[in-house]
Amino acid sequence: MTTLDQSTGKNRYLAAPRRDDFTLDQDWASYSPAEHDRWDRLFARAQTVLQGRACDEFQSALQHLQLSEGGIPDMAKLSARLRPLTGWQVVPVAELVPDEVFFDHLANRRFPAGAFIRPESEMDYLQEPDIFHDVFGHVPLLANPVYADFMEAYGKGGQRAMALGQLKNLARLYWYTIEFGLMKSADGLRIFGAGILSSATESVFALEDPSPNRITFDLERVMRTDYIIDDFQQTYFVIDSFEKLLEDSYRDFGDLYARLAKADDIAADAVITDDHVVSRGSFAYFKAKNSAASH
């Protein structure tokens, strides 16, 4: 056991020197065999669950980026494959970076990805985005030109939203698409959100469990909708395509922000009159959790 294995229980990058833009050296050689093996187990489990569940764009991007190779990806090598496709690169960071730093990276087609991998004790769920959540969940779709444009636009939108004090509304758009979005396909609903793709249990829940609402995406509706961060989502929004998502979002948010400032928030579990409901949730999973919690 090298010293690094002992430190895999916590995020050793927190102690690493970092640049002003919060990036640091991934130091790929420092990953232990145990960490490479953990990536391979997470990857294999996700791939099994995602057959017939992830959107085609994700599956083809995995091939393009040769992410099926074993072991933790070297972000520099991954960026060398990604850059020619859409101009995006993946830069290593220790943990969540300040919002303005995050948006600046996205606006310049750099995706900041956690360099640490989750400890064995958090294989199924962790709060902080580790390299599996970021590189397996978020990075592949950056090889899709339309999604890549959307992510850059989100970065630029984030910079503007911060200036207008409207970040809360914009973060919801990110949450219900980039993190937890579903998409219509000829064969039924498919997953594109990174938070779902990187979670074997939520991949099944989001598509097949009767508990959550599934509602057709509407930009203003999503930007009004609250969300929870420590459990499965109570509502998933469904887009028609990345093209439609980009088209819906590629507009001046000025008038939208003015309306949102006066509109009430919508609860994470609510269905409202104008919703095009794909499936209304039974909330059985959430009720069971609450009643278990109250005993």
Other Cβ atoms within 10 Å of 12 Cβ, number: 17
Q: Residues 106-125 vs ligand HBI: string with x where CB under 6 A?
A: ------x-------------
Cα 194 from Cα 26, distance rounded (Å):
21
Residue range at the interface with ligand HBI (CB under 6 A); choices 54-62, 93-101, 218-226, 252-260? 93-101
Triad 50, 193, 117: Cα angle to 5°: 75
Token pair 């969940």: residue: 137
Q: Residues 37-76 vs ligand HBI: string with x where CB under 6 A?
A: ----------------------------------------
Based on the number of CB atoms within 10 Å of its own CB, is 242 exposed (0-12), middle (13-18) or buried (19 or more)? Answer: buried
Binding status of residue 126 toward ligand HBI by CB under 6 A: no
Q: Which is nearer to Fe ion, 112 or 129 (CB)?
A: 129
- Residue 115's φ and ψ, nearest 5 degrees, are -95, -15
CA dihedral (83, 17, 133, 185) positive or negative: negative
Q: Which is nearer to ligand HBI, 161 or 189 (CB)?
A: 161
Residue selected from 126, 153, 171, 238 as contacting ligand HBI according to rule CB under 6 A? 171
Number of residues that bind ligand HBI (CB under 6 A): 9
DSSP assigned state of 14: G
Mind giving me the DSSP string for 31-73? Answer: --HHHHHHHHHHHHHHHHHHTTTB-HHHHHHHHHTTTTSSSS-
Binding status of residue 195 toward ligand HBI by CB under 6 A: no
**Range 96-135, binding Fe ion (CB under 5 A):** 129
Residue range at the interface with ligand HBI (CB under 6 A); choices 6-14, 90-98, 209-217, 254-262? 90-98
Footprint on this chain of Fe ion (rule: CB under 5 A): 129, 194
Residues at the interface with ligand HBI (CB under 6 A): 93, 96-97, 99, 102, 112, 129, 171, 174
